[in-house]
Amino acid sequence: MSGNQIFRLPAGGCVDRTQPVSFTFEGRQLSGYAGDTLASALLANGVRLVGRSFKYHRPRGILGSGAEEPNALVQTGEGAHSTPNVRATEIQLFEGLIASPVNCWPSSRFDVGALNDRFSRFLAAGFYYKTFMWPNWHLFEGFIRKAAGLGRPSNQPDPDRYESRYHHCDVLIVGSGPAGIAAARAAAAGGARVVLAEQAALPGGSLVGSAALVGGREGGAWAADEISELRARDDVRVLTRTAALGYHDHNALTLVEECGGAPHAGDPSSRPRLRTWHVRAKRVILATGAIERPLVFCGNDRPGVMLAGAVRHYIERFAVRPGKRMVLFTNNDEAYRAALAFADTGGQVAAVVDVRRVVSEDLRSALRDRAIELVAGGTVTETSGRHALKAVRVSGGQTQNRWMDTDLLAMSGGYNPDVHLFSQSGGRLRFDEALAAFVPAQSVQAEISVGMAAGETTLAGALAQGHAAGVDAALAAGFPAEVAAPQCGAERTPAPLEPCWRVPGKGKAFVDFQNDVTDADIELAQRENFVSVEHLKRYTTLGMAPDQGKTSNVNALAIMASLTGRSVGETGTTRFRFPFVPAALGSFAGLDRGDLFRPLRRMPAHECHVRAGATFEEYGGWLRPAYYAAPGETAFDAEQREAAAVRAAAGLFEGSPLGKIEVKGSDAGAFLDLVYANSMSTLKVNKVRYGLMLNEEGVIIDDGVAVRLADDHFLVSTTSTGAERIAAWMEEWLQCEWPHLDVIIAPVTTAWGVLTITGPSAREILLALGTDIDLAPANFPHMSFAAGTIGGLPVRLMRVSFTGEVSFEISVPAGRTGILWDMLMDKGQKAGLVPVGIDAWMVLRTEKGYMHVGVDTDGTSTASDVGWGHVLKKKNEFIGKRSMLRARDRAKDRLQFVGFAVEAGEPPLPVGAHAAGRDGSEGHVTSSCHSPVLGKGVALGLLKGGRARAGERLVFQTPGGARHAIVCEPAAFDPGGEKLNG
């Protein structure tokens, strides 16, 4: 033994005794070894009390040794690194670890909340549905919400790093016990790509520390050698400390790997804390093992009551004997191994209490050799002790109701195959009477369960099943496997277990340890007719804790079955849900946090805007210049100056985020006629046409221009926010509704940078820069297209306008956008060219009365509402046409797109101001600004029956009081289009 590790065995285990580790638990400085878990180190130091139960605040100790642990939830770390509700059985010990129990105050030994246990008669199942309804739930809500939960998350930003990876493989094997390793070696032998995922830090499962012979070697040595060989293969990936959280459709599984890269456990710059794997496999082999079942009897939750398999696990894997004197309470042969291992390492076994009256002679002989008393046909009916187990009451054998002094009670009611992932996959279960457990019955995905996960209780059977599954999986993936199946030594045939679902007695007998659900709660649920498994679960909260009832579900179902006169199979079970074990929320976010939560795109000429002094804002996921403020200018001053400069000379605006979609094929024109409300097939080559896109309801979802590059080739432009959405929408219609059309859709938004030069001097600046395109108005009128060069750069040039001025939209290869920007600004400086931001751009289009989809329209606006009723004359069908023909879509009182004029000198109407009518709002302002060229406010909006109300004077309700405006045409600037066509 070492230091204060009074329960550490002098030899054995898989810990490194040359690397002592110091850690702190509840303020106490303790020690362990590298390779320990927090649970094994606590047991080695004699720590029995590790926390309090959720509802009754009863003292609780370590029950299990892995993911099934319901009691030993702790808070680890401090400050930003504080993590609540982590299972001590799965925390790898490291230097400086700080942990504390949860759900207790001021300490685990003296917890004020323990008063709940004294008033437990008032806190039975469903008490929260009844007790707090009168006189008003809200009187109790604050207290209840404060009491809910266990640990407390940190309120500081999480400093740890998380990653996500996507992976494909031929065979994914979950679990590295004997069946999992046999499957992996068989599948890998033929060259299949294999992923072997193991939740524990050390692969091998039940073979670790086992004396069973496999392949002529001790099981642990065989497992270690096989894992080493698998790691050495390029086509095999072995992931340890990796939990399979979920089994989803199409053989997709979510795994979370604990990388140990948290700052308190290593260098955060080199490794993430957790890595989430999204794995899609051709075949899945579930070798997840089994979970030992507790026994239900009075006082079964005291610290010092443990699962028998966990006792053996701590002895064999960690060289920790978790007690001095033990009693074993069981109904099966497997549990005897814990008593024998305890005795063989120097511990005293007071008795083995077996509910079966008939026990095989070889087990009786083994107990006699170690002077261990056997109480056949007996039960443990009660326990005593406050913060640790002191004694148990045994009924049966030679003496009835005998108290035995002991500090450790190992219990085992049999094993439940770990079917959580199988159930998530959609597989169906059946109840196996011999095992007294649910086992996989029918798979619905390309999956097979092997070993204990399939109900196979022998080592030879597990190895054979795993090997056969690995061979079949490899063959299914096209890889013939040629390797001999592993063989094991002779095994004894276990005697059948005798189900023991609960032991009658007075006092609390716990079924769900984590949520404090007792057998009495199940009886209450039955009396109140909550007999459906789903009702039982929700009424009692059984199986709803973070452990998802891993140790409680089958016992609970069996108790309900006995109360209702049904079999356990007839009672049924719930479908287990994702995730299999709790996972840090950061593992789901991965790198998508902070600035990367919603990464902002930067335009190709971003650095040019930075040099020009731009103030950036987010627009549809893009970081774009809002304005370019000169020294001393406000945002409003900059907006007005830029807009005025465009009207007087010229402005340069980057519109690279505008959607650009190439549509090519012999049916391209016919396809666009279907997706646009107006016709595009009649468009001539090198001509441009504006169009609207509608959904099936006839509602406007996007607008933009389309240019015909060739007879079978179009370039479609969309709004910035519609770039990806419209491309996907068009592809969906093509593939689902019109697959017969000869059309290819190619989104090319990011391939091209777009610069728009607009204003009276725009043509002059382009000519000064040099171009081989004839820009004369007669040869290159509004809504024309040409390909050529400008300043020596290859470009696509469109004459389209969003400002009402002569405008040239220049598309240039994205990597050369900045070069063209600098050349245009250099040549245009003398002509008064200024950079223009989004704010001024919105002023210019509002002056011109151009509609902005999503701003000047809403989720009900149709083409008719914005003055496009003429599209109904179009002979062919298009998306949304039939909806536009409905009476409600042709009603005269619909909200229609109009302009609002205010008197000169008055401030602009505020956006959102509503026009008052006798029946409430008549409409509202959607866009509004001060026009520097007109010297007054201009506004656009939606008004009931608006197009028939030109000249009507409206009253608008604003925060500053009532305002007046006249209904007018949307275009306040250059309504005749003389400037646009100049």
Predicted confidence (pLDDT) per residue in 91-133, tens digit: 999 999 999 999 888 988 988 877 877 776 767 777 766 777 6
pTM for the model stands at 0.80
Residue 454: how many other CB atoms lie within 10 Å = 23
Residue 524 token pair:
């209450």
Predicted confidence band of residue 421 (pLDDT cuts 50, 70, 90): very high
Predicted confidence (pLDDT) per residue in 484-502, tens digit: 889 998 888 888 999 999 9
Predicted confidence band of residue 1 (pLDDT cuts 50, 70, 90): very low
Residue 749 pLDDT more than 80? yes
Distance between CA atoms of residues 104 and 172, nearest Å: 41
Residue 333: its pLDDT value, please? 95
Query: What's the longest Cα–Cα distance across the chain?
Result: 116
Average pLDDT over residues 882-902: 94
Residue 595: its pLDDT value, please? 83
Predicted confidence (pLDDT) per residue in 594-626, tens digit: 888 888 999 999 999 999 999 999 998 999 999
- Sheet with 614-619: list strands edge to edge: 601-602, 622-628, 614-619
What does the mean pLDDT of the chain come to? 93
Which range is most confident: 218-227, 252-261, 275-284?
Answer: 275-284
Cis ω for the linkage preceding 106 (within 30 of 0): yes
Residue 2: its pLDDT value, please? 45
Residue 4 pLDDT more than 90? no
Give the H/E segment covering residue 953. Answer: strand 953-958
Distance between CA atoms of residues 935 and 967, nearest Å: 18
For 598, what's the count of Cα atoms within 13 Å in the CB-facing half-sphere? 6
Distance between CA atoms of residues 835 and 611, nearest Å: 11
Distance between CA atoms of residues 314 and 43, nearest Å: 9
Cα dihedral 623, 628, 631, 637 sign:
negative
Residue 141: how many other CB atoms lie within 10 Å = 11
Rounded alpha-carbon distances, angstroms, from residue 804 to 573, 654, 739, 799, 972: 69, 17, 40, 12, 11
Average pLDDT over residues 878-899: 94
Q: What is the 3-state secondary structure (H, E, C) of 324-343?
A: CEEEEEECCCCCHHHHHHHH
Cα dihedral 888, 889, 890, 895 sign:
positive
Predicted confidence band of residue 837 (pLDDT cuts 50, 70, 90): very high
Amino acid in position 719: T
Distance between CA atoms of residues 416 and 290, nearest Å: 5
Residue 268: its pLDDT value, please? 47
Residue 60 token pair:
């609780």
Which of the residue ranges 136-145, 310-319, 492-501, 685-694 would you say has the lowest mean pLDDT?
Answer: 136-145
Distance between CA atoms of residues 412 and 500, nearest Å: 10
Residue 124: its pLDDT value, please? 77
Residue 143: its pLDDT value, please? 67
Residue 212: its pLDDT value, please? 86
* Residue 901 near residue 965 (C-beta atoms within 8 A): yes
Predicted confidence (pLDDT) per residue in 180-213, tens digit: 999 999 999 989 999 999 999 999 999 987 888 9
Dihedral (Cα; 839, 840, 843, 844), 10-degree rounding: -140
